[in-house]
Amino acid sequence: MERKRTKSGNIRLADVAELAEVSLITASRFFSNPGALSVGKRERVESAAKQLGYVPNLAARALASQRTEIIGVLIPSLTNSVFSDVLRGIYDASEGSRYSIQLGNTRYSILQEEKLLRVFQSQRPAGLIVTGINQTEASRAILQTMNCPIAQIMEIGPDPVDMMVGFSHYDAGFAAASHLLAQGFQRIGFLGARMDPRVQRRFAGYVDALKAASRFDPRYIVTTPTSTTVTLGGTLFADLLAQAPDIEAVFCVNDDLALGVLFECQRRHIQIPEQMAIVGFNDLEFMASAVPPLTSVRSNRYEMGKSAVTMVTAAIDGFRPQELVVDLGFKLMIRHSSIARRN
């Protein structure tokens, strides 16, 4: 375990080459294309590298090769478990590849997103994954100049920057509301928090579904820009009951709110679904084991993250997918909480 000392104190590829008695470039090739080396040299370089504890310098590699193996990822929240799932998909997929992930948290701010994009610019990432379709003009301009494959995730829409993986939140909101209507509920409330672009599109789906059935009433709607908590679900539900005591069902824009509503109903001894139907969104794991089990809209978040990485890495390698926009869809998980009394 002797240690070569160079000016900088680091073991360089040159040190490995020297010990292995090969040229620098041969040592370099051992890492990029070992098959091109003769067996003897390959073994000598390998053992020399191990003996010296050589670790390649990524900065030097990036500078010389003019490319990195970094995929930049921009998500709006670290707390929201929706994004934990997406991230898990992203990290799982990246581990099967040679790419590493550089993560940025925009906190639901498109200005912060723009800022982080500028940071990413200096890293020269090989690919990019951004959340949603509501970038600023400046962000779009930056994305254009970065000329690397880009995936927008979480939702799909017109005018993709490059690739897209997601689903229609409008359709999902419409489907959730339609389900309640189909069950025969007439006075259907909406509880919304944070009201980010995707939440707003779910909301729009709800509004249109109710309007189509001539059941729309602004009194049924309670929203807040505040971020989501379970406790908030209870509070918003209390507000809703206050302004529309005859409400029969609630569509909560996410499952945390739905859980809060469940607890509030338990507190008030409101029977679910007999006196109040509940539908959530995201289908977090606890929805199925709640009492009663809660209806929700399942999206393929893990898959979304995984696909985004797969698409981006494939595109980096020159294999651009046939379909640039991938709709992963959603699935209404109908459970006891939204089954009509009369059924």
- Taking the CA atoms of residue 47, residue 51, residue 55 and residue 57 in that order, the dihedral angle to the nearest 10 degrees is -80
User: For residues 295 and 333, is the Cβ–Cβ distance under 8 A?
Assistant: yes
Report yes or no: 297 and 333 within 8 Å, Cβ to Cβ.
yes
The HSE-up count of residue 71 (CA atoms within 13 Å, CB side) is 31
- Give the pairing of strands 325-327 and 277-279: unpaired
Q: How far apart are CA 186 and CA 324, in angstroms?
A: 40
22 is a site residue for DNA (CB under 7 A): yes
For residue 103, the cross-strand partners are: 73
Q: Binding mask 51-90 vs DNA (x if CB under 7 A, - otherwise)?
A: ---x-xx--xx-xxxx------------------------
Residue 31 contacts its own copies per CB under 8 A: no
269 Ramachandran zone, left/alpha/beta (phi>0; psi -120 to 50): left
6 binds, among its own copies, DNA, none (CB under 5 to 8 A by kind): DNA
* Max CA pair span of the chain: 86
Shortest distance (Å) from residue 195 CB to its own copies:
19
* Among its own copies, DNA, none, residue 322 binds (CB under 5-8 Å by kind): none
Q: At its nearest, how many Å lie between its own copies and the CB of residue 127?
A: 16
By beta-carbon proximity to DNA, the closer residue of 28 and 300 is 28
Q: What is the DSSP letter of 40?
A: H
CA dihedral 235, 236, 240, 241 (to 10 degrees): -20
Is 196 one of the binding residues for its own copies (CB under 8 A)?
Answer: no
CB 184 within 8 A of CB 340: yes
Binding mask 224-243 for its own copies (x = CB under 8 A): -----xxx--x---------
Instruction: List the single partner that 289 binds among its own copies, DNA, none, CB under 5 to 8 Å by kind.
Output: its own copies
H, E, C per residue of 66-85: CCCCEEEEEECCCCCHHHHH
Closer by beta carbon to its own copies, 11 or else 164? 11
Which positions from 137 to 156 touch its own copies by CB under 8 A, shown as an x/- string?
--------x-----------
Task: Tell me if 201 contacts DNA by CB under 7 A.
Answer: no
Backbone phi and psi for residue 328, each to the nearest 5 degrees, phi listed first = -85, -5
Q: How far is the CB of 26 from DNA (least distance, A)?
A: 3
Q: Is 105 in the site for DNA (CB under 7 A)?
A: no
Stretch that binds its own copies, among 156-164, 260-268, 310-318, 319-327 (CB under 8 A): 260-268
Q: Which of 18, 24, 46, 57 binds its own copies (CB under 8 A)?
A: 57
Cis peptide before 292 (omega within 30 of 0): yes
Q: Which chain residues interact with DNA by CB under 7 A?
A: 6-8, 10, 12-14, 22-26, 28-29, 31-32, 35-38, 40-42, 54, 56-57, 60-61, 63-66
- Enumerate binding residues for its own copies (CB under 8 A): 8, 53, 55-60, 62-63, 66, 68, 78-79, 81, 84-85, 87-88, 91, 100-103, 105, 118-119, 121-124, 145, 229-231, 234, 256, 259-260, 263, 266-267, 285-286, 288-291
